[in-house]
Amino acid sequence: MAPDVVTMDKIVALCKRRGLIFPASEIYGGIHNTYDYGHYGVLLKRNVIDAWWQSMIGDRTDIVALDSAIIQHPKTWEASGHLAGFTDPLVDCKTCGQRFRADHLGELPCGRKPSKHPGETPECELTEAREFNLMFETTIGPVKEAGATVYLRPETAQGIFLDFKTVLGFARKKPPFGIAQVGKSFRNEITPGNFVFRTLEFEQMEMEFFVPPGEAEQWHEHWLRERMEWYERIGIRADHLRLRAHDAEELSHYSSATSDVEYLYPIGWSELEGIANRGDFDLTQHAKFSGDKLEYFDTASGERYVPHVIEPAAGVGRTVLAALCDAYDEDDVGGGPRTVLRLHPRLAPIKVAVLPVVSKDGLPERAQEVFQMLRGQMQAEYDEGGSIGKRYRRQDEIGTPFGVTIDHQTLEDGTVTVRDRDTLAQDRVAIEDLPAVLGARLAAPWESPKLATA
Ligand code: GAP
């Protein structure tokens, strides 16, 4: 695939056309940086999250799962530093009335003259930069009164630190061990988001790995390697991934070292995941603010210490977007152009489409039997409307790796055609062998079909 085949506009259009992801509240004109996931988008997202859980708690025994609350005690955010420091510098333009990130002015269009940047025209009148907190505030109870203010979490991580002691009590683990969770976080982002790259609400896949202080660096290295490999295992091309270490000015207040996994999105290299060495910052802060001891006592050595934390923090939306961009391709089949998502079969929303060649002569009935047989084993879809060519294109656009076609020969000898999305090879397979044939191809090791066919 030529590198410029995929653009953000094409991804946005495909996602809308096929109902994967589309603007939220569209009947009211949409809402800033907010998107809804449709049927195929939900399935794709679920497959990403499943692959992450598989790598965290399926493939290893040193991590446990957690699902903590979105709204936590407000002291949480005092202790974590978010209340004081989780801010963006913003400027207002008194002429156009728009608000801009002061550190992004060079990338943003002027409110009056979009060909210029804010502050570049003589009419622009920008205020001094002021710090705005990114946390969404709300209140508990019917009255907005002092003491009732709470916040929607801006990261899932803090719930893990609050539950550290509880989990330690029942998980029968000792450092090094991890607590993983997936859930929604919320940030009042004013910068235009580049589709689902930056949204107001987004799902995070975060894992806090608690280690003896002396082992922090080696575990940081471990998680850098693990996470890079995970993206390759779900089919992202290695040359579209890189690690970038933060320099001292860029580091968050809690971090002594952070590296971002970056993906080569159509907008350029951008953060997919942050992997931080958070040291003992969070447990120490929550111990101070709560008065509780948040430490580990090693009964064997008699040693007591506050574990250090290595945190791989990934975004679901950004992973979905990277998978879509990486899979997007256009080619020519039988004289006609096609758009195809060469998604890894395990990420593909639909694994197999069952298609009668025509909707008569008893083919739909036979195809329904095949569909009912397969759907218990894998995410399958039945489609009999429109020409077979159009139905293939539709499945190609949502990344369905296999098409099973029922034709007149099926009625004679009980065989069907299995069409491969990437090679376009068509194999004749007996219906009773389909579960085994498709099952084996879907269960193949995590390798990219793009690489296999390149
Ligand atoms: N607990 C650490 C933490 O939250 P982060 O780098 O701010 O670190 C982790 O966020 C990941 O969450 C990012 O790498 C990104 O994938 C995702 N993320 C952060 N803000 C986002 C936003 N506004 N929209 C979509 N994803 C976002």
If you average pLDDT over residues 299-315, what whole number do you get? 96
Name residue, tokens 């069952």: 354
pLDDT of residue 347: 96
Of the ranges 90-94, 230-234, 409-413, which one carries the lowest mean pLDDT score? 90-94
Give the Cα separation of 306 and 309 in Å (integer): 10
Identify residue 339 by its one-letter amino acid code: T
Q: Best of 271, 277, 319, 321 to mutate for ligand 1, by most ligand atoms within 8 A of CB?
A: 271
Under the banding of pLDDT at 50, 70 and 90, the label for residue 73 is: very high
Residues 152, 155, 161, 163, Cα dihedral to 10° = 50
At 237, is the secondary structure helix, strand, or coil?
A: coil
pLDDT of residue 448: 43
Report whether pLDDT(285) > 90: yes
Q: What is the mean pLDDT of the chain?
A: 93
pLDDT tens for 395-412 read: 999 999 999 999 999 999
Under the banding of pLDDT at 50, 70 and 90, the label for residue 449 is: very low
CB atoms under 10 Å from CB of 81, counted, come to 15
Give the Cα separation of 405 and 356 in Å (integer): 6
pLDDT of residue 141: 84
pLDDT tens for 362-402 read: 999 999 999 999 999 999 999 999 999 999 999 999 999 99
CB atoms under 10 Å from CB of 139, counted, come to 12
HEC per residue, 116-157: CCCCCCCCCCECCCEEEECCCEEECCCCCCCCCEEEECCCCH
Largest separation between any pair of C-alpha atoms in the chain: 79
pLDDT of residue 213: 95
From the CA of 315, give the closest atom in ligand 1. 16
Decide whether any atom of ligand 1 lies within 6 Å of the 273 Cβ: yes
pLDDT of residue 329: 97
From the CA of 206, give the closest atom in ligand 1. 1
Of the ranges 92-106, 138-152, 253-267, 353-367, which one carries the lowest mean pLDDT score? 138-152
If you average pLDDT over residues 331-359, what whole number do you get? 93
pLDDT of residue 161: 98
Q: 82 CA to middle of ligand 1, Å?
A: 14
As beta bridge partners, residue 105 has none
Report whether pLDDT(47) > 60: yes
- 349 cis-preceded (ω within 30 degrees of 0): no
Q: Which residue, among 359, 282, 332, has the nearest Cα to 76 in the 3D structure? A: 282
The DSSP call for residue 437 is H
DSSP string, 68-93: --SB--THHHHHHSHHHH-EEEEEEB
Of the ranges 61-75, 78-92, 132-146, 420-434, which one carries the lowest mean pLDDT score? 132-146
Q: 311 CA to middle of ligand 1, Å?
A: 12
pLDDT of residue 256: 85
Report whether pLDDT(295) > 90: yes
CA–CA distances in Å: residue 401 to residues 163, 346, 349, 375: 41, 9, 10, 15
User: Considering the chain, what percentage of its residues have pLDDT values greater than 70?
Assistant: 96
pLDDT of residue 250: 87
Decide whether any atom of ligand 1 lies within 6 Å of the 271 Cβ: yes
**Contact between residue 429 and residue 378 where contact means Cβ atoms under 8 Å apart:** no
**Contact between residue 90 and residue 130 where contact means Cβ atoms under 8 Å apart:** yes
Q: 315 CA to middle of ligand 1, Å?
A: 6
Alpha helices in 179-280 (DSSP H): 216-233
**Contact between residue 57 and residue 51 where contact means Cβ atoms under 8 Å apart:** no
Q: Best of 76, 205, 318, 321 to mutate for ligand 1, by most ligand atoms within 8 A of CB?
A: 318
Strands 380-382 and 130-133, by their bridges, are unpaired
Q: Which residue, among 133, 145, 146, has the nearest Cα to 80 in the 3D structure? A: 133
pLDDT tens for 163-203 read: 999 999 999 899 999 999 999 999 999 887 799 999 999 99
pLDDT of residue 444: 64
pLDDT of residue 454: 32
From the CA of 156, give the closest atom in ligand 1. 1
CA–CA distances in Å: residue 89 to residues 34, 82, 356: 22, 15, 58
Give the Cα separation of 416 and 303 in Å (integer): 66
From the CA of 155, give the closest atom in ligand 1. 4
Give the Cα separation of 208 and 156 in Å (integer): 10
Buried b (16+ CB within 10 A) or exposed e, 206-226: bbbbbbbeeebeebbeebbee
Report whether pLDDT(351) > 90: yes
Under the banding of pLDDT at 50, 70 and 90, the label for residue 443 is: confident
Give the Cα separation of 66 and 72 in Å (integer): 15
Q: Spell out where 7-78 has E strands.
A: 21-23, 35-37, 63-65
Identify residue 312 by its one-letter amino acid code: P
pLDDT of residue 108: 86
Pair of tokens at residue 204:
């995070």
DSSP string, 331-351: EEETTEEEEEE---TTT-S-S
If you average pLDDT over residues 208-217, what whole number do you get? 97
Decide whether any atom of ligand 1 lies within 6 Å of the 314 Cβ: yes
